[in-house]
Amino acid sequence: MGTDLQILCRDVCELSKQAGEFIRNERRRFTTERVETKGKNDFVSYVDKGSEKLIVEGLSKLLPGSGFIAEEGTSTVKGDVYNWIIDPLDGTTNFIHGIPCYAVSIALMRDKELVMGVIYEVNMDECFYAWEGSKAYMNGKEINVSAAPALANSLIATGFPYYDYSRVDEYLAVFKHFMKHTHGLRRLGSAATDLAYVACGRFEGFYEYSLQPWDVAAGVFLVQQAGGRVSDFSGGNNFIFGKELVAGNSACFDEFYNAIKIYFK
């Protein structure tokens, strides 16, 4: 399905941009009165739901018989072979507060393997994408992870714990380590965007815990296709459904991962 995946990826990119245009238009007239709370600091709006409905309907037409793992539960259909993993608006808190960093994230899984990832960062109008066997691209140009050889040359991205504080002491110890041994840390508020930026070399690494599959599926595929490495905190492969993730360039990944492993035991 190589060529077919390439064509499908092109169509998914267009669909992600349509969802992005919907999000942009709604942001101009958005009010906080229609924000719902799913849990502590876990918000959803009619914009998230509208974007997901648009995406699910579009993907169902592009790949009939496929299933969905979608954040807002628009569809809970499970496909026998193919399943889409969707975050219709990654960075909802940013969106609600008018902070310009949020993205549409769409991944395709065949059985248990990722075969496509698309992330569209709405405000910068940047579409990152890759399919099985391809390089990674952003707006038609090939992208690669950074070649920085060490943490001392690195800018690291992370996401702060905002509802699950069970490992906050370990998290803060890692944060302190990276404060002292890197160019610095950034917290954009969108894991999908963080991972896209690792894939294109803007960040050397990203780590976070309490993540959901729709936060990371497309991004980890992009990082891998761009020449990077990904693992969970134990060095294994349970990073899509395991709620913890380390992603980085290949040159300093071992140093990056080992620094995290010291604290997250």
CATH, residue 24: 3.30.540.10
The CA-based angle 256-123-224, given to 5 degrees, is 35
**What is the per-residue pLDDT across 6-39, written as a single tens digit (0 to 9) for each?**
999 999 999 999 999 999 999 998 887 778 776 6
Residues 106 and 161 in one domain: no
Which string of DSSP letters, residue by residue, matches 239-254? -SSSSEEEEE-TTTHH
**What is the per-residue pLDDT across 217-252, written as a single tens digit (0 to 9) for each?**
999 999 999 999 999 999 999 999 999 999 999 999
Q: Which of 143, 171, 196 is the last residue of a domain?
A: 143
Residues 113 and 172 in one domain: no
Residues 137 and 163 in one domain: no
CA 217 to chain centre: 6
Residues 132 and 157 in one domain: no
Residue 129 belongs to what H/E stretch? strand 126-131
User: What is the rounded CA–CA span in Å between residue 105 and residue 88?
Assistant: 6
Calculate helix-pair angle for 191-199, 213-225, nearest 10 degrees: 0
Residues 110 and 224 in one domain: no
Residues 221 and 123 in one domain: no
Residues 85 and 17 in one domain: yes
The tokens 């990082």 sit on which residue? 223
pLDDT band at 163 (very low <50, low <70, confident <90, very high): confident
Per the DSSP assignment, residues forming a β-bridge with 114 are 109
CB distance 101 to 193 below 8 Å: yes
- Into how many domains does the chain fold? 2
Domain with 243 in it: 151-263
Using CB atoms within 10 A of its CB, is residue 190 exposed (0-12), middle (13-18) or buried (19+)?
buried
User: What is the rounded CA–CA span in Å between residue 23 and residue 96?
Assistant: 11
Residues 45 and 13 in one domain: yes
Residues 158 and 207 in one domain: yes
pLDDT at position 73 is 84
Q: Which of 114, 143, 172 is the last residue of a domain?
A: 143
CB distance 48 to 103 below 8 Å: no
Q: Which of 143, 177, 201 is the last residue of a domain?
A: 143
Q: What is the CATH number of the domain that holds 241?
A: 3.40.190.80
Structure pTM? Answer: 0.95
Residues 93 and 193 in one domain: no
pLDDT at position 191 is 98
User: What is the rounded CA–CA span in Å between residue 72 and residue 46?
Assistant: 10
Residues with Cβ within 8 Å of 141's Cβ and at least 6 positions away in sequence, in order, are none
